[in-house]
Amino acid sequence: AIATWLNSLGVKVKEVKIIPDEEQIIINTVNQYRSLYDYVFTTGGIGPTHDDITTECIAAAFGKRVIRHPEAEARLIAHYEGTDIEFNEARQKMADIPEDAALIDTPLSAAPGFILENVHVFAGVPSILLAMFEGLRDSRPGGVAMTRLTVQCGIGEGSIATIMESVQTAHAGVSIGSYPWFKPGQFGTAAVVSGLDPDVAAAAADALAAGVRGLGVSAEVMPLGS
């Protein structure tokens, strides 16, 4: 979900890592990545339970204190008011935010995420995560969105390797990845053509499809994910 969202903004994903809820590992990873990349995104660990330690670890990575954020607390109080759910100490914890952090609105839940310099801290629940993304869409500077096209080929990738290489070489800025697939009684290759210039990417996809058809097998160009 994050990769799809970032691609629409023209932000290229460089690395993905899954780490355990262990304080020093979180601190070390955040400090490593925030110095390497323009943006760092974390998901999960900002809820009310004992193993939700992301907030404290992000604060520690930056040498910041965790504070009871007035706006976050006000949102949570308003959210739970008039319900049968107690705004207990565990839920109050969700208003604890590193000092100097900006809140990320949460349309589906009152508990906010936050941004500290280039580190963006999101909820782990997928629906809440996606809603948080949309709230940030217009505020994250990006670049040109990558164009990705799939060439579905009714042939194994080993048989079209030379064609893919020659098409990629002939179209500057384009990369081609191949992904074999298998169905009962059938096999083939999904060749994904990627490029920042949509016209060049489309030309490369068409050239690849034509080259495959020249072998006497089917090839169809379609948007990635179709």
**CB-based contacts of 33-38 (< 8 A; 24+ apart in sequence):** 34/61, 34/117, 34/118, 34/119, 37/118, 38/11, 38/118
Which residues in the chain belong to E strands, given as ranges? 40-43, 66-68, 96-98, 102-104, 113-116, 119-122, 147-153, 175-183, 186-195, 219-223
What pLDDT digit, counting tens, does each position of 59-80 carry? Answer: 999 999 999 999 999 989 988 8
Give me the phi and psi of 214, to 5 degrees please.
Answer: -65, -20
45 vs 51: CA distance, rounded Å: 7
Q: Is 88 exposed, middle or buried (0-12, 13-18, 19+ CB in 10 A)?
A: exposed
Rg for the chain (alpha carbons), in Å? 23
Token pair belonging to 193: 């053509």
- The answer to whether the CB of 150 falls within 8 A of the CB of 188 is no
* Total residue length of the chain: 226
What pLDDT digit, counting tens, does each position of 17-61 carry? Answer: 999 999 999 999 999 999 999 999 999 999 888 889 999 999 999
The closest of 199, 200, 148, 146 to 8, measured between CA atoms, is: 146
Residue 219, strand partner residues: 153
Centre a 10 Å sphere on the Cβ of residue 115 and count the other Cβ atoms it contains.
Answer: 18
Output DSSP code: residue 40: E
Which residue, chain included where needed, has tokens 């109080």? 77
Q: Is the pLDDT of residue 127 over 60?
A: yes
Centre a 10 Å sphere on the Cβ of residue 76 and count the other Cβ atoms it contains.
Answer: 21
89 vs 46: CA distance, rounded Å: 14
What pLDDT digit, counting tens, does each position of 142-201 carry? Answer: 667 778 899 999 999 999 999 999 999 999 999 999 999 988 888 999 999 988 899 999
What pLDDT digit, counting tens, does each position of 84-102 carry? Answer: 889 999 999 999 999 999 9
